[in-house]
Amino acid sequence: MSTGITDQYRRSFAELLAEAFRQEYPELHASLGDVELFSAEELLDRLERPKDPGMGHFALPIFPWLRHLRAKPPEVTARIAERIRTLQAGNGQTLAVEGVSGFLNARIAPEQLAADTLDRILGTDQPVAASDEGAGQTILIEYSSPNIAKPFGIGHLRTTVIGNSLRRILRTLGYTVVGINYPGDWGTQFGKMIVAFGIWGDEAKLDGPEPIKHLLDIYVRFHAEAESDPSLDDRAREAFRQLEDGDPGATTLWQRFRDISLREFQRVYDMLGVEFDLVVGESFLNDKMQVVIDRLHAAGLTKESRGALIVELPDDRLPPALLKKSDGATLYLTRDIAGAVWRFAEYGYTQSLYVVGTAQSDHFKQCVQVLKLLEDAEGSSDDQRIGPRIRHIDFGWIKFIDEDSESGSAKVMSTRKGQVILLEEVLNTAVGKVRDVIEEKSPNLPNRETVSAQVGIGAVIFSQLSVRRQTDVTFKWDEVLNFDGETGPYLQYTHARLASVLRNAPTIDTVAIAWGELNHAEEQRVLELLADYPEAVRSAARNSDPYSISLHLLKLASAFNRVYQRKGEDGKIDKIISDNDSRTNARLALVAATKRVIGEGLNLLGIAAPEEM
């Protein structure tokens, strides 16, 4: 498995520490016999990153070993730091180690950090964070999954962009990834739609320019009318039963709803740059559910309750898993259980990720517990168990500020009540607002329409990926489109500024870079962040959260802008390009590496990186 630059030095520090402890305290090792008190692996696990970058790149707290060492912390750290200096003698002091109270701090030698980091970034055509850690492993990611016959609202934005980003991140790390769009195209709501269209439907509107708006209108009307006429719900249940039984009329109407919706959804996906490897809706599983139900029944796990078919769960905090209603209709849970089984048979996945809102947490717990009960009852081997492979990647609500309302309060959308903000309208509004800024500030910018779309849509995407996924997000236009704050446009503008520097600069001589020229604290901070970028990507994969990449890019852009604005001893800006050819060459290498990492990071988030803004 390939590793990042700081990973390599982190391991080197752990190995130096292990050897230094062995040499400084040989009597302690002898008294403990076969017990290896200071193994490199244990020390590696205990290494920390100092919160203050000025304290070094790595730190080892020695407090866990003081009872064995029987010495005061300053004495121990001084002895070990001196021993490490001795161990490195003659090989170059690649790690500067010093004892600070109860910590041993290490800093990578500045020239070494510059050489290793920039050589790695500029010396390969492969992505900077590319790794083979996922080789031989298949990960399925289900994301977006809007409901058929309903608008693609802003409420589906987070699942769509989080899933799309995870698909890109995991592929970069060498995993085989299958991105799945699982549209909600089955269930009792389609009985409601069929009944509603039969009463209030308009063929002309269904064939018109806004067919989804018409379907939303009759769906909202159905729920309003059903409050005073419960017979509508009975008719809807019967209509869905007919659909499940293959009634030609119901099937034809359902197919029209589905085809119209998928066309509308694709237009939004094209705007967002979102892709899938498989688009398969709930309806696909209609003939696959009974097989799983039969297995559950044969295992003695099913039970009738008031005419419904359930599986009782061992966790008393969860309700029983409902497989079939009293009228025989299946549910979302039934289809998810069957889907997990079918997908494993088809792909043999290592993990199956479901990027679905936090509100569905109990649903996935039920799904996993039903599968565990079934696999326990059937005596499945570990390599055939599905339950442990399923992970719910939950996320918080997105709330939208209505700027036209008197209160300006944030609210969560509800399709049933007709409270839907169309995602396409949000994206078009963002593009329009950016276009206005460009017309005012850069009227001569080439490809203004393309850049407006890249920046406007990128701003919307970044607004969802720049916070931890489990945090609720309040959407505010003035924050989302800010070119100076911690936003997507700020990162894109930094990338474009770096591109501009390189366009107007001499060609970089990558063979003759004088690494010692990058000796200012601001430049060293940029190098540290460049070196740590692969770890930010791996962190995003481990936590299934692109936030760590967003945060890292913001830190990198901010750090480089301090380099760009740094003043020399004469009080003037210390320019990237100067009369000192050696310094200019080194600084341009830093510019090129920073541009590349910001561009690649934005790509992993699903955001374009304009060359001009």
Is 292 a residue whose pLDDT tops 80?
yes
Q: Which residue, 280, 297, 327, sits at the end of a domain?
A: 280
* Tens-digit pLDDT profile for residues 109-146: 999 999 999 999 999 889 999 999 999 999 999 999 99
Residue type, 107: R
Task: List Cβ neighbours of 478 (8 Å cut-off, separation of 6 or more).
Answer: none
- The pLDDT of 4-26, averaged and rounded, is 89
Q: Under a CB-based contact definition with an 8 Å cutoff, are residues 318 and 369 in contact?
A: yes
Answer yes or no: do 568 and 437 share one domain: yes
Instruction: Say if residue 90 is in the same domain as residue 215.
Output: no
One domain, residues 89 and 203? no
- Indicate the pairing of strand 176-181 with strand 138-142: parallel
Domain assignment present for 404:
no
What tokens were used for 550? 């967003």
Of 408, 386, 391, 411, the closest CA to residue 400 belongs to 411
CATH of residue 556's domain is: 1.10.730.10
The alpha helices in 471-577, defined as continuous H runs, are 477-480, 488-503, 521-542, 547-564
Distances (CA, A) of 176 to 140, 143, 376: 8, 16, 29
Answer yes or no: do 592 and 449 share one domain: yes
Give the span between the Cα atoms of 111 and 94, in whole angstroms.
9
Residues 530, 553 contacting (CB under 8 angstroms): no
Q: Is 408 exposed, middle or buried (0-12, 13-18, 19+ CB in 10 A)?
A: exposed
Query: DSSP letters of 335-353?
Result: HHHHHHHHHHHHH--SEEE
Final residue before a domain boundary, out of 86, 108, 130:
108
In a domain, 153, yes or no: no
The tens digit of pLDDT for each residue in 52-66 reads 888 889 999 999 888
What is the Cβ-side half-sphere exposure of residue 596, based on CA atoms within 13 angstroms?
A: 23
- Does the residue 355 lie in any domain? no
Do 62 and 211 reside in the same domain of the chain? no
Taking residues 16-34, report their average pLDDT: 79
* pTM (two decimals): 0.90
83: domain CATH number is 3.30.1360.70
Q: Which two tokens stand for residue 130?
A: 């590319």
Task: Provide the sign of the torsion angle of the four alpha carbons 283, 284, 287, 289, taken in this order.
Answer: negative
Contact 47, 14 (CB under 8 A): yes
As a whole number of Å, the CA-based R_g of the chain is 29
The C-alpha atoms of residue 259 and residue 255 are separated, in whole angstroms, by 6
Q: Is residue 373 part of a domain?
A: no
| Pairwise CA distance, residues 107 & 101, whole Å | 16
E-strand spans in 249-347? 278-279, 302-305, 308-311, 321-324
Half-sphere exposure of 587 (CA within 13 A, CB side): 24
| Model pLDDT for residues 308-351, shown as the tens digit of each residue | 999 999 999 999 999 999 988 889 999 999 999 999 999 999 99
Last residue of a domain, one of 58, 87, 108: 108
| Beta-ladder partners of 141 | 179, 353
Within-domain flag for 202: yes
450 and 595 in one domain?
Answer: yes
- pLDDT of 33: 52
Q: CA separation (Å) from 270 to 440, 552, 554, 600? A: 28, 27, 26, 20
| Total count of domains within the chain | 3
Measured at the CA of 108, the angle between CA 103 and CA 112, to 5 degrees, comes to 170
pLDDT tens, residue by residue, 508-528: 998 889 999 999 999 999 999
| pLDDT tens column, 355-383 | 999 999 999 999 999 999 999 999 999 99
| pLDDT at position 31 | 57
Q: Which domain, by its residues, includes 494? A: 424-605
Q: Using one digit for the tens of pLDDT, what is the confidence trace for 227-272?
A: 999 999 999 999 998 998 899 999 999 999 999 999 999 999 999 9
- Cα-based distances in Å from 83 to 40, 47, 87, 199, 305: 16, 18, 6, 86, 73
